């Protein structure tokens, strides 16, 4: 059966420009303006997983992102990779969001897409973590908001057999753990945080770029989430005000070291160095 | 509006090709150069991305774009492997006459698999007697009862040993003044009496194959004739002057870009007297010169390609771009090498390869002297009283 798939995309600063990144000491957020962005690398694995699912079973793939307006470019790339449609949730009110407010906003966006298309999502793929924040929280939070089963660090997905009772297919899923993997069987709808090992993302083709020109890219702001359709946003749950995470102090550690000039014969100096090291707990016993 | 700006799609194309090249080409470019091999698997992948038939209409399996987009692809590929750039550029050079002058049957027959990456194309014009003495070709195609019998030798042919389809020119008669009449043909690998000969051991552009093609009583069908009988001069010259030289120019722009990036990287990393050498004015002068020649080469190259896309005469503009870009790439590689000191001559760094590639780009598609003759000829005509 064909599946409706959503892929969450995050634009992250291009690692080539990491040296230009600063942190706003007041808001304690990364200052991203003026730094070229790219698709969060593991999000491409999520896109690839969605593409493979569509190639195998048919269906529809929508990309969704909560980001500043210039993330259009990033979403065009996902369309060029093969997604059918893209949605950008962009509003000043969404700014300053932590993972909870981000996942809430994405959840509302996904619900709105479902409402407009009249079809529920069967899969929501996310990259397992972002290259900048690396909290790895959004996919699980999104699963909770949507009340879908969710798994994180998924590296393999395989269909098992159609479920006779509900007609829904079961999927065998594997997640990475420290010394091996865990195997799960899940039934749609599912939210999956995809790991890098899942696949090798396809390259964007020239034909894909040309097709992307004519694919829909919708931008929604806060005002587009009207209360009357039952999917309005709670303004207390978005942006900075919806973010319970409060970063602590941000400071550059003082790495200055004090030096002491030792005088005497080399033997005396070595003795002195050893004494200081021993007194600081450094073991100087050599075992053959 | 800027005088010169790429469209959003062109920028996306550059980014997509760059990502591919950085992942699939850059890590292996030096190995291909050392082993002197053309990576057929990467050629195939480039076909799947749409690069191999970039300017071929979609109905024949191409991407339906133009020559500016072709130059973007060649620049990005050549930024890391000008040799692979050379293979693709020559593939385009072979495809172009089929697209421009081929019959519907020939186009339907050849273009789809040449665009998809399944097969490689080439163009064979040059002979031991010289490439620039175009009309002096000695390869002879004689009309038989059915088809043609071809005898002769082509040399310095890129994709000689790996092309599945080769477009070539041969003498098919003489006009009333005794001048050679040339015709163009399409020959497939494995045709009876047709085979590659000597493979050259080149200084640079070594991820491309160059060698001889030998015709010994090669029998070709009537369907092998490309365009009209006697139309070979135009077919060959148009391909070389617009597609071949335009492509070489884009390859040289890629080499220039590669040099610029290597120079900047090295200058920022190399610490002398307690600071990166990028802080030294003597080094900055070199970087400024490389940047300037890169920008100039790029403007000339993309401007000439945009004329081609607009179906305007461009042979002179292409020649200007090719002359400047290839010469500038040699100079930039030398400057980068100088900037790097001893490291510049260590083969772990790409700059030595860039210099060899740049030098090899000069005779490809006509030497700098030939280009100056072309440019001067066009200029004198343009400024005629």
Q: How far apart are CA B182 and CA B134, in angstroms?
A: 9
Q: How far apart are CA B123 and CA B157, in angstroms?
A: 7
The fold of the A3-237 domain, in CATH, is Rossmann fold (3.40.50)
Whether B50 sits inside 8 A of A205 (CB atoms) is yes
Structure confidence at residue A163 (pLDDT): 55
Q: How far apart are CA B133 and CA B236, in angstroms?
A: 12
Structure confidence at residue B229 (pLDDT): 94
Q: How far apart are CA B275 and CA A99, in angstroms?
A: 41
The arithmetic mean of pLDDT across residues B14-36, rounded, is 97
Structure confidence at residue A31 (pLDDT): 80
Condensed to tens digits (0 to 9), the pLDDT of residues B148-205 reads 999 999 999 999 999 999 999 999 999 888 888 999 999 999 999 999 999 999 999 9
Structure confidence at residue B58 (pLDDT): 96
Condensed to tens digits (0 to 9), the pLDDT of residues B202-243 reads 999 999 999 999 999 999 999 999 999 999 999 999 999 999
**Closest chain A C-alpha to B150 CA, distance in angstroms:** 39
Structure confidence at residue A282 (pLDDT): 86
B→A contacts (Cβ < 8 Å), by residue, are: 8-9, 12-13, 15-16, 19-20, 23, 45, 48-51, 54, 58, 63-65, 69
A→B contacts (Cβ < 8 Å), by residue, are: 73, 76-77, 80, 203-210, 212-213
* Residue B165: both structure tokens together: 């389809």
Tell whether omega for the bond before B285 is within 30 degrees of 0, i.e. cis.
Answer: no
Where is average pLDDT lowest: A30-39, A215-224, B98-107, B302-311? A30-39
Which chain B residue shows the shortest CA-CA distance from A200?
A: B23
**Closest chain B C-alpha to A165 CA, distance in angstroms:** 42
Exposure class string for B213-248: b at 16+ Cβ within 10 A, else e: bbbeebbbeeebbbbeeebbbbbbbbbbbbbbbbbb
Q: How far apart are CA B83 and CA B87, in angstroms?
A: 7
Condensed to tens digits (0 to 9), the pLDDT of residues B112-154 reads 999 999 999 999 999 998 777 788 899 999 999 999 999 999 9
The arithmetic mean of pLDDT across residues A194-212, rounded, is 95
A80 vs B5, residue with greater confidence: A80
A23 vs B211, residue with greater confidence: B211
Which residues of chain A have a CB within 8 Å of the CB of B64?
210
Look at residue B385 and tell me whether its pLDDT is greater than 90. Answer: no
Which residues of chain B have a CB within 8 Å of the CB of A210?
9, 63-65
**Closest chain A C-alpha to B8 CA, distance in angstroms:** 9
Condensed to tens digits (0 to 9), the pLDDT of residues A217-264 reads 999 999 999 766 667 888 899 998 899 988 788 877 888 888 888 999
Look at residue B250 and tell me whether its pLDDT is greater than 60. Answer: yes
Look at residue B272 and tell me whether its pLDDT is greater than 80. Answer: yes
Grade residue A133 by pLDDT with cuts at 50, 70 and 90: confident
Look at residue A287 and tell me whether its pLDDT is greater than 70. Answer: no
The arithmetic mean of pLDDT across residues A49-68, rounded, is 96
Structure confidence at residue A247 (pLDDT): 79
Structure confidence at residue A283 (pLDDT): 81
Selecting from A76, A203, A207 the residue whose C-beta is nearest the C-beta of B12 gives A76
Selecting from A80, A205, A209 the residue whose C-beta is nearest the C-beta of B48 gives A205
Q: Is the dihedral of CA B240, B246, B252, B254 positive or negative?
A: negative
Residues A193 and A175: beta-carbon distance below 8 Å: no
Whether A210 sits inside 8 A of B63 (CB atoms) is yes
Exposure class string for A132-169: b at 16+ Cβ within 10 A, else e: bbeebbbbbbbbebbebebbbbbbbbeeeeeeeeeeeb
Structure confidence at residue B135 (pLDDT): 81
The arithmetic mean of pLDDT across residues A190-219, rounded, is 96
The arithmetic mean of pLDDT across residues A280-284, rounded, is 84
Structure confidence at residue A284 (pLDDT): 79
What ipTM was assigned to the predicted interfaces of this complex?
0.86
**Closest chain A C-alpha to B308 CA, distance in angstroms:** 20
Structure confidence at residue B89 (pLDDT): 98
**Closest chain B C-alpha to A207 CA, distance in angstroms:** 6
Condensed to tens digits (0 to 9), the pLDDT of residues B349-360 reads 999 999 999 999
Percent of chain A with pLDDT over 70: 95
Q: What is the mean pLDDT of chain A?
A: 90
Which residues of chain A have a CB within 8 Å of the CB of B54?
206
Structure confidence at residue A24 (pLDDT): 82
Backbone angles phi, psi at B82, to 5 degrees: -65, -25
B377 vs A226, residue with greater confidence: B377
Structure confidence at residue A20 (pLDDT): 84
Structure confidence at residue A230 (pLDDT): 67
Where is average pLDDT lowest: A56-65, A268-277, B127-136, B194-203? B127-136
Whether B13 sits inside 8 A of A77 (CB atoms) is no
Which chain B residue shows the shortest CA-CA distance from A201?
A: B20
CB pairs under 8 A between A and B: 46
For chain B, which domains are there?
8-120 (1.10.540.10), 122-231 (2.40.110.10), 234-382 (1.20.140.10)
Residues B222 and B146: beta-carbon distance below 8 Å: yes
**Closest chain B C-alpha to A30 CA, distance in angstroms:** 25
Question: Can you tell me which residue has the tokens 């990502």?
Answer: B19
Whether A207 sits inside 8 A of B50 (CB atoms) is yes
Condensed to tens digits (0 to 9), the pLDDT of residues A159-192 reads 886 655 556 678 999 999 999 999 999 989 999 9
Structure confidence at residue A160 (pLDDT): 80
Structure confidence at residue A167 (pLDDT): 62
Listed residue (A132, A126, A99) closest to A32, CA to CA? A132
Mutate to test the interface with B, among A72, A79, A201, A206 (most CBs of B within 10 A): A206
| Domain coordinates in residue numbering, chain A | 3-237
Residues A141 and A21: beta-carbon distance below 8 Å: no
Look at residue B1 and tell me whether its pLDDT is greater than 80. Answer: no
The arithmetic mean of pLDDT across residues B43-69, rounded, is 97
Grade residue B80 by pLDDT with cuts at 50, 70 and 90: very high
Mutate to test the interface with A, among B6, B7, B9, B42 (most CBs of A within 10 A): B9
Structure confidence at residue A22 (pLDDT): 84
Question: Can you tell me which residue has the tokens 């033997």?
Answer: A267
The arithmetic mean of pLDDT across residues A8-20, rounded, is 89
Selecting from B20, B54, B69 the residue whose C-beta is nearest the C-beta of A203 gives B20
């Amino acid at each position: 059966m064909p599946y409706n798939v959503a892929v969450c995309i995050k634009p992250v600063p291009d690692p080539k420009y990491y040296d230009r990144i600063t942190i706003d000491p007041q808001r304690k957020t990364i200052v991203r303006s003026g730094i070229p962005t790219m698709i969060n690398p593991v999000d491409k694995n999520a896109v690839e997983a969605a593409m493979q699912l569509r190639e195998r079973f048919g269906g529809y793939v929508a990309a969704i992102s909560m980001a500043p307006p210039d993330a259009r470019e990033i979403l065009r790339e996902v369309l060029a990779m093969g997604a059918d449609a893209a949605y950008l949730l962009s509003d000043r009110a969404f700014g300053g969001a932590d993972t909870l407010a981000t996942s809430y906003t994405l959840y509302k966006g996904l619900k709105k897409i479902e409402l407009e298309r009249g079809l529920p999502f069967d899969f929501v793929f996310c990259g397992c973590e972002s290259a900048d924040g690396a909290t790895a929280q959004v996919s699980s939070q999104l699963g909770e908001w949507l009340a879908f089963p969710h798994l994180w660090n998924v590296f393999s997905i395989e269909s098992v057999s159609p479920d006779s009772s509900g007609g829904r297919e079961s999927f065998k899923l594997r997640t990475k753990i420290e010394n091996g993997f865990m195997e799960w069987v899940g039934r749609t709808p599912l939210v999956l945080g995809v790991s890098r090992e899942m696949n090798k993302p396809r390259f964007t083709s020239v034909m894909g770029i040309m097709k992307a020109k004519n694919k829909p890219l919708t931008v929604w702001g806060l005002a587009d989430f009207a209360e009357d359709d039952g999917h309005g946003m709670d303004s207390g749950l978005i942006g900075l005000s919806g973010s319970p995470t409060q970063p602590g102090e941000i400071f550059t550690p003082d790495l200055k070291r004090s030096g002491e000039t030792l005088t005497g014969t080399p033997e005396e100096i070595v003795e002195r160095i050893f004494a200081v090291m021993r007194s600081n707990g450094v073991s100087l016993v050599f075992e053959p | 509006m800027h005088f010169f700006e790429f469209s959003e799609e062109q920028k996306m194309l550059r980014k997509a090709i760059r990502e591919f090249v950085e992942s699939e080409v850059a890590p292996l470019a030096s190995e291909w150069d050392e082993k002197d091999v053309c990576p057929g698997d990467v050629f195939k992948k480039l076909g799947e991305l749409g690069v191999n038939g970039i300017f071929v209409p979609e109905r024949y399996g191409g991407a339906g774009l133009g020559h500016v987009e072709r130059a973007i692809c060649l620049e990005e590929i050549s930024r890391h492997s000008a040799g692979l750039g050379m293979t693709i550029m020559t593939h385009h050079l072979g495809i172009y006459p089929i697209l421009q002058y081929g019959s519907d049957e020939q186009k339907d027959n050849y273009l789809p698999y040449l665009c998809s990456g399944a097969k490689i194309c080439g163009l064979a014009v040059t002979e031991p007697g010289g490439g620039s003495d175009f009309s002096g070709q000695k390869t002879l195609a004689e009309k038989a009862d059915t088809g043609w019998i071809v005898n002769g030798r082509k040399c310095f042919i890129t994709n000689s040993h790996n092309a599945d389809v080769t477009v070539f020119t041969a003498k098919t008669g003489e006009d009333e003044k005794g001048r050679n009449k040339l015709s163009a043909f399409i020959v497939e690998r494995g045709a009876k009496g047709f085979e590659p000969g000597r493979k050259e051991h080149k200084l640079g552009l070594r991820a491309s194959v160059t060698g001889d093609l030998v015709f010994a009583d090669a029998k070709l069908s009537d369907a092998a004739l490309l365009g009209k009988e006697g139309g070979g001069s135009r077919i060959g010259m148009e391909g070389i002057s617009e597609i071949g030289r335009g492509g070489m120019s884009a390859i040289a722009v890629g080499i220039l870009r590669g040099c610029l990036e290597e120079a900047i990287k090295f200058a920022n990393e190399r610490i002398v007297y307690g600071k990166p050498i990028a802080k030294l004015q003597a080094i900055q002068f070199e970087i400024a010169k490389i940047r300037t020649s890169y920008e100039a080469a790029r403007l000339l190259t993309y401007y000439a390609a945009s004329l081609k896309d607009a179906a305007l005469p461009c042979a002179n503009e292409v020649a200007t771009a090719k002359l400047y870009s290839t010469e500038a790439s040699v100079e930039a590689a030398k400057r980068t090498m100088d900037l790097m000191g001893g490291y510049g001559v260590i083969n772990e760094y790409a700059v030595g390869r860039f210099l060899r590639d740049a030098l090899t780009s000069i005779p490809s598609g006509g030497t700098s002297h030939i280009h100056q003759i072309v440019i001067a000829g066009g200029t004198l005509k343009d400024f005629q009283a």
